[in-house]
Amino acid sequence: MSGVKVTRDQIVDRAYELLAEAGLSGLSMRRVALDLGVQPGALYYHVASKQELLAVVAARILKGLPGVAKDPREAAGDFRSALLRVRDGAEVVSFVQAYRPDLLVPTHALRRLFTGKYDERRAEWAARTVVHYVLGFVAEEQNHAELVRAGIVEEEPAHSGDSDEAFGFGIDAILNGLS
Partner DNA sequence: ACCTGAACACCGTTCAAGT
Q: What is the DSSP letter of 154?
A: P
Nearer to a copy of itself, 157 or 177 (CB): 177
Nearer to a copy of itself, 4 or 173 (CB): 173
Which of 37, 38, 19, 35 is closest to 27 using CA atoms?
Answer: 19
Sign of CA dihedral 134, 136, 137, 143: positive
107 binds a copy of itself (CB under 8 A): no
Nearer to a copy of itself, 38 or 57 (CB): 57
Minimum separation from the CB atom of position 164 to a copy of itself (A): 12
Residue type (1 letter), 79: F
175 binds a copy of itself (CB under 8 A): yes
Exactly one of 70, 132, 155, 164 binds a copy of itself (CB under 8 A); that residue is 132
144 binds a copy of itself (CB under 8 A): yes
176 binds a copy of itself (CB under 8 A): yes
The full 3-state SS of 108-147, as one line of letters, equals HHHHHHHCCCCCHHHHHHHHHHHHHHHHHHHHHHHHHHHH
Tell me how far apart the alpha carbons of residues 155 and 149 are, in angstroms, rounded to a whole number: 9
115 binds a copy of itself (CB under 8 A): no
Tell me how far apart the alpha carbons of residues 135 and 2 are, in angstroms, rounded to a whole number: 43
Residue 29 partner contact from a copy of itself, DNA, none using kind-dependent CB cut-offs of 5 to 8 Å: DNA
Nearer to a copy of itself, 85 or 122 (CB): 122
Exactly one of 46, 77, 99, 105 binds a copy of itself (CB under 8 A); that residue is 99
Tell me how far apart the alpha carbons of residues 70 and 167 are, in angstroms, rounded to a whole number: 19
Residue type (1 letter), 69: A
Which residues here bind a copy of itself, judged by CB under 8 A?
51, 94-95, 97-99, 122, 125-126, 128-129, 131-137, 139-140, 143-144, 146-147, 152-153, 166, 169-170, 172-178
